[in-house]
Structures are given as structure tokens and as C-alpha cells.
Amino acid sequence: MTALNVVVGISGGIAAYKAVSVIRELVLAGHDVHVVATSNALKFVGLPTLEAISRNPVHTDLYEGVDEVRHVSVGQAADVIVVAPATANTIAKIATGQASDFLGNTILASTAPVVLAPAMHTEMWQNPATVANVETLRSRGIRFVGPESGQLTGSDSGLGRMSEPSDIVAAVLDVAVASRDLAGRSVLVTAGGTREPLDPVRFIGNRSSGKQGVALATAAAARGASVTLIGANLEVAPPAGVRFIEVGTTLELQSIVNAEAVTADLIVMAAAVADYRPAETAQSKIKKRSDSSTLELRLEENPDILRGVVAARSGDQVIVGFAAETEPDDAALLELGRAKVTRKGCDYLVVNRVGWTEGFASDRNTVIVINTAGDRVGEASGSKLSVAHRILDLVFAAR
Ligand code: C5P
């Protein structure tokens, strides 16, 4: 295994002394370990111990290394982050995205996988507040190792004991390797919605925010792929670490997709593409008509980019299309998907329902994935990022 940059976060619980063994094992296995300790953690284990064992400076104070913007750079450089022990308080802070200390900033600023090794008393682990926080974090793809049942700090025993250091290290390395399953692959993602100009100030467009496509690019990059994201009128920022190309219209999207598709192993066409564009684009603002209460627009058909990519496909490229439909009935929605996958000829089609209140601006999504034969290969529901990971699992798992 190549050496990983591992951030070991330590929060303030008695199990912090065992974090020293986690660090030691990672260092001896050849990994570069950067410790981020909360101020409470340092009441349980000494800073010199952590620095000597990790062979790197320990980060605690948000205001250290300000010139190097260290509160984000440590997280950005990480291949994997583990927090051991993760106290109930730290779990709550991570679940609510708090950045009041170095550890919170590091986790927020990172796209690396995160593993938490909880340690607390049984009542705290089973408290509905903790249960809800753990559920939230799991739904965002954060992994948990433990807690186990056993002797706790006082005379009590039960669920809440931190996992053994070697089990934590094994989980961290598993997650790091699994999370890089797209290393060496080249992924092309289209996102957003095309806009077809009527005149210099108006366009025909759609409500696609680009969030699902951006989540797909984020997920693929986090899994080690080299990602090109072609964004049409995105409402969200493209993620760091991907090559981003901005387009506006369907014809612009087509020319970039055709050029980029040649070298892609996986092509995911998540963009909502206008089927028609105005036959003429006025060079100055179209004026309100005084002689008529109606205005007719003549539209001409846009090329089907996805079909073009399928027709020009090379080797064992995987091509994924999207179908956003307003059909309310589940069975009928699936039938529409089946007809579309046959028409388009792509390997997979991600079918989702959209409407006035569904699909577009939301941070969540519910999709069904079908293959080229129209068979259902899986479904996903949750945050757009978790849906993105599931789609990547489904379309690569079959290969
Ligand atoms: O036919 P429909 O627009 O519903 O198909 C959606 C899928 O086809 C999406 O993957 C979309 O990116 C792609 N598409 C395309 N070119 C078009 C229309 C749609 O590539 N002109």
C-alpha cells in the first residue's frame, strides 16, 4: 500500500490514551500521521507524547500557522481522517458542522473519508440525541468503528468502549483503500441545465441546479478518479480537485462533450439538456408587441448529445444517462425509463421524479437505476452526495 496522509483526531475522553497506539501502528506501517487534538484531549494525553509518536507537530490551536491557512490545509491534504476517541460532544459537533476548533475545521475542509471510533458511557451512546447524530453522519457516508461492549471507565460495563487500536487502524486502511476504488479512471460528468438565448437578455432554460451532477463529480474525485465536470449554469460551485469547463447552451455542451468523451472511462450525463432552441436568436431585446396579445416562438430541435456519445463510443466505456420525469405513478415512471434507455442506448439510466416541489433545488434525491435491458439494478435515496456514491457503486460494480 502506498503511504497515506492520515489525520488522527483526538477528542477529550479517557480512551484518548489509546489513540497513541493508533498513531504508533499507522506510523510503523509507513503512513504520514498528522494529529489534531482538541484542548480537552490534551488533558488526557500529553502533547510531547503525540508529537514524538506521530513524528509531526500536533495541531490544536485554530490560530496557529494562520499564514499557511493551516485550519483548512491539514484537512485538504488528508487521504483519510479518523477520530479516536470520538466523544458524544465531538460527534454532535461534527453532525452539526461546527467549526469552533481545529478538528471541526479540518473535517469540514476535507473531502477525505472520515472514520469515527466512538467512546462514551452506554447511556450517552444510546441517548436519542447521539443516536440521531450518528444516523445523520452515517447518511453522509461517515463510517463508524465500534463502540464495543466491555469495561467502561468507572465500575460500569456495557456498550460504549472504544474499539481496540488495531481494529481502528484496520478500518481506517480499509476505508482509505476502498475509497480510492476509482484511482486511474477518467470520469466525465455533465451537470446543470442548458439555456438557449432568445435575445441578449432572455433564455429558455430549466430548473436544474446542477447539484446532483456536482455531487457525482465530487464523489468520483474523492474516490480517486480524474474528473472533468462540464457545468451548464450551475447554482453551486464546482468542487475542488476536478477539471471544470463551463458552458451555456446545448450546442456548446455538445462540442465540449464530444471532445472530452474520447478519453473518458465513465461518462455521466446528469445535465438537463434543452430539447429545443429558438430557431432565431434576436441580436437586440425583443420588444413587447403593440399589435398582438400573443407572441409565437419558433423552436428547432437540438442534437441528442447522449445518443451521439453512445454512437461514437470506444472500448469498454460506461455511459450513464439521466431521466427526470414528472410521472407520478412508480410503474409508469419505470416504463418511461425503459423506453428511454432503449432509445438512447446508454448502459445505465438514472431515473428520478421531478416536479414543482421535487428534485431540482433539493439537497436530497431518490433515484432508480436501470440497465440497458431495462432491468432495475438498484435504487438510492438520501443526500445527493450519498446518491452519487451509490450510482458509482452500481455502474462500476457490474463491470
Ligand atoms: O430525452 P431526455 O432529455 O429526457 O434524456 C435525458 C438524458 O439525455 C440526460 O442524460 C441528458 O443529459 C441527455 N440529453 C442529451 N441531449 C439532449 C437531451 C438530453 O444528451 N438533447
**Catalytic positions:** 206
pLDDT in tens, 337-349: 999 999 999 999 9
Residue 150 has pLDDT above 60, yes or no: yes
Sole residue written with cell 450546442: 251
User: What is the reported pLDDT for 1?
Assistant: 63
Which residues touch 296 (CB under 8 Å, ≥6 apart)?
Answer: none
User: What is the reported pLDDT for 92?
Assistant: 98
Which of 27-41, 97-111, 379-393 comes out lowest in average pLDDT?
Answer: 379-393
User: What is the reported pLDDT for 362?
Assistant: 80
Under the banding of pLDDT at 50, 70 and 90, the label for residue 129 is very high
CATH class of 5-179: alpha beta
Which carries the bigger pLDDT value, residue 66 or residue 20?
20
Output the residue whose Cα is nearest ligand 1's atom 13. 306
Residue 360 has pLDDT above 80, yes or no: no
**pTM of the predicted model over 0.85:** no
Domain with CATH 3.40.50.10300 in the chain: 186-397
What is the third-level CATH fold of 186-397?
Rossmann fold (3.40.50)
Q: Identify the CA nearest to 325 among candidates 349, 289, 290.
A: 349
Q: What's the count of helices (H) and strands (E) in the chain, helices before strands?
A: 13, 19
- Rounded CA-CA distance 374/370 in Å is 5
- Rounded CA-CA distance 379/248 in Å is 31
Over residues 63-68, mean pLDDT: 85
Q: Identify the CA nearest to 115 among candidates 171, 38, 43.
A: 171
Ligand 1 contact, 232 CB (< 6 A): no
Over residues 74-90, mean pLDDT: 95
Domain with CATH 3.40.50.1950 in the chain: 5-179
Query: What is the distance in A from the centroid of ligand 1 to the CA of 275?
Result: 8
Ligand 1 contact, 273 CB (< 6 A): yes
User: What is the reported pLDDT for 399?
Assistant: 61
- Rounded CA-CA distance 16/43 in Å is 9
306-337 burial, b for 16+ CB within 10 Å, e for fewer? Answer: beebbeebeeebbbbbbbbbebeeeeebbebb
Query: What is the distance in A from the centroid of ligand 1 to the CA of 118?
Result: 45
Highest mean pLDDT pick, 109-118, 214-223, 243-252, 384-393 = 243-252
Over residues 54-71, mean pLDDT: 90
User: What is the reported pLDDT for 74?
Assistant: 93
Ligand 1 contact, 310 CB (< 6 A): no
- Rounded CA-CA distance 341/327 in Å is 16
Output the residue whose Cα is nearest ligand 1's atom 3. 273
Over residues 275-290, mean pLDDT: 95
Question: What is the share, in percent, of the chain residues with pLDDT greater than 70?
Answer: 98
Under the banding of pLDDT at 50, 70 and 90, the label for residue 391 is very high
Ligand 1 contact, 350 CB (< 6 A): no
Which carries the bigger pLDDT value, residue 134 or residue 328?
134
User: What is the reported pLDDT for 386?
Assistant: 84
Under the banding of pLDDT at 50, 70 and 90, the label for residue 234 is very high
Ligand 1 contact, 306 CB (< 6 A): yes
C-alpha cell at 343: 432509445
Choose one of 195, 229, 304 to mutate for the ligand 1 pocket test, by most ligand atoms within 8 angstroms of C-beta.
304
Residue 396 has pLDDT above 70, yes or no: yes
